[in-house]
A and B are shown apart, each in its own frame.
Chain A
């Protein structure tokens, strides 16, 4: 059996190792913030110091916010992510309810389709979706950023799992009260499955806020770009080697999700690991 002494030692060792790996993990974040408050001279004078001799944060952040339409990018991101998540829940929750609680011909086929769609990597579909967007004339609009994602096989799958755990008696009682099937979905199932809805919402918002591939294909106008695409354009255009404003812009793009994550850690972990943790 291990002695209290060796236990104390191993606890110290545990903290040492985890603090070192944690520090290494954080280096890119720390370096990004550090460069975002340094003047060009200090950036190119290569030093290890985190804090600049001359604080240049205001200049860098001002340039990030004015030279690139960064506020516009952020608003685009918020709008697109909100639309996607609202539409996904509106489309997926009723379908998931039908699959979980109703009996109908074609049910197994529909569920099989959901499982197959779950496997397909979205990037593979981008070419036909691009052609579809072109044909209906919505490329280079907000609609182009949103339409491929309005149905989420993962959402249907996750909600179905959760709805199945809600007892049938609840539904029978609601029917006796005269609720229609659609109001059962919105007034009974969704409120009772709120943890799943929130987890899915976080998953959806994080992945679409961070996504670069499809926006790169779908829009060209700077006024429509979501943050990742906007920041890439900012890098390629003026900021090229102007690290200060570029790092300020990167910090501003990363910050909202990090703040949200730190304030609701458990929800984020659950949402992003797709219920695999359960």
Chain B
């Protein structure tokens, strides 16, 4: 590649002096190219081996009936995808995942935004409140899921004790097919709202004071007026960003399902990533698992592209 490049820029000048400069320049270019590729080489090789070949492999495997460990496999075209979408378990998994996302995303955004607005509306204890609300986002979810299981325990759990104490109906949250998904979604909101809060806090900081001054002159005296005319419209792009990022996180929910419910009862809490794991690594239905991965990948990539389009209008990476 570098040889082709060097012949392409063969100097046309005849003066020995100019020839010498060009030669030096060409030498410099070659040296820079060589240096760049030696520095980026390891990363390039690893990106190909650990990201790009696996992506191609997943599409290829999805078109076969391969079962891990089997010595023979045959091409089945889109057969796996037909099977995937005809499978009641997968359809339940897809619907549950979407339902979960539909609960978690608005819940996280509304709570995260409210808490960010409250924190920002005063000067005292900001770091303290931010720390408390952010805590669940970095705590090990596997361990916290176990704590949640104790909280949601049908007889000795704090949730049911409190409800019973208040004379409200209780439930066996994680074993009842009507409550299991909302219960997991509640844990999802609990975990992510601090993340949304931090992003909103950053968005609030970037709103110029001038806009509030202008709103004051226009007679927006009340806090609510300023919120409606300045704060919320200015938070539009941040909200879109939070929306997508939280949606992606919600789509990728795995730990709580694996630790707390294993997809049950029935298929009531089965979600895409758990289905992907179980089909690929427990049932070893490799071809089938790969096509679940392709479906999952399509959703995630679609969401990311929407995000990229939205952010592109606001941010430039150069």
Contact = CB atoms under 8 A, between A and B. Distances in A.
Interface residues of A, number: 97
Interface string A36-55: 00000001101010000000
Contact of B50 (A10, A46, A125, A231): A125
Nearest to B68: A131
Contacts of B53: 128
A185 to B, nearest CB: 7
B281 interface: yes
Interface in B130-155: 130-144, 146-148, 150-151, 155
Interface stretch (B81-89, B93-101, B114-122, B169-177): B114-122
Given A97-B39, A99-B40, A113-B52, A123 B252 contact: yes
Contacts of B258: 212, 216, 232
Taking residues whose C-beta sits less than 8 angstroms from the other chain, chain B's interface range is: 35 or more
B110 interface: no
Interface string A219-262: 00000000111011001000000010011011101100110011
Residue of A18, A129, A235, A253 contacting most chain B CB atoms (<10 Å): A18
B229 interface: no
Interface in A140-187: 147-148, 150-151, 153, 156, 161, 164, 181-182, 185
Contacts of B5: 105
Interface in A103-135: 103-107, 110, 113-114, 116-117, 119-121, 123-132
A2 B286 CA distance: 65
A209 B142 CA distance: 11
A126 to B, nearest CB: 7
Interface in B258-310: 258-259, 273, 276-277, 280-281, 286, 289-290, 293, 296-297, 300-301, 304-305
B151 A128 contact: no
A117 B52 CA distance: 8
Contact of A228 (B118, B121, B147, B255): B255
A269 B133 contact: no
Contacts of A243: 150
Contacts of A124: 55, 58, 276, 293, 296-297, 300
Nearest to A157: B317
Most interface-central of A44, A126, A261 (chain B CB within 10 A): A126
Contacts of A107: 36
Given A28-B147, A148-B50, A250-B147, A1 B155 contact: no
Contact of A151 (B46, B127, B290, B304): B46
Interface of B is mostly: helix
Central interface residue in B146, B198, B223, by most chain A CB within 10 Å: B146
Contacts of B106: none
Contacts of B276: 123-124
Interface in A6-22: 10-11, 14-15, 17-18, 21-22
Nearest to B305: A119
Contacts, number: 282
Contact of A210 (B47, B118, B142, B241): B142
A192 interface: no
A228 B195 contact: no
A14 B198 contact: no
A29 interface: yes
Interface string B156-190: 10100100000000000000000000000000001
A175 B61 CA distance: 49
A164 B276 CA distance: 39
Contacts of A32: 143-144, 146-147, 150
A124 B251 CA distance: 12
B103 interface: no
Given A14-B122, A18-B115, A46-B156, A272 B195 contact: yes
A79 interface: no
A29 B139 contact: yes
Interface of B: 1-2, 5, 32-33, 35-40, 42-44, 46-47, 49-55, 57-58, 61, 68, 111, 115, 118-119, 121-122, 124-125, 127, 129-144, 146-148, 150-151, 155-156, 158, 161, 190, 193-195, 198-199, 202, 221, 223, 241, 245, 248, 252, 254-255, 258-259, 273, 276-277, 280-281, 286, 289-290, 293, 296-297, 300-301, 304-305, 317-318
Interface of A: 1-2, 10-11, 14-15, 17-18, 21-22, 25-29, 31-32, 35, 43-44, 46, 48, 91-92, 94-95, 97-99, 102-107, 110, 113-114, 116-117, 119-121, 123-132, 147-148, 150-151, 153, 156, 161, 164, 181-182, 185, 206, 209-210, 212-213, 216-217, 227-229, 231-232, 235, 243, 246-247, 249-251, 253-254, 257-258, 261-262, 265, 268-269, 272-273, 276-278
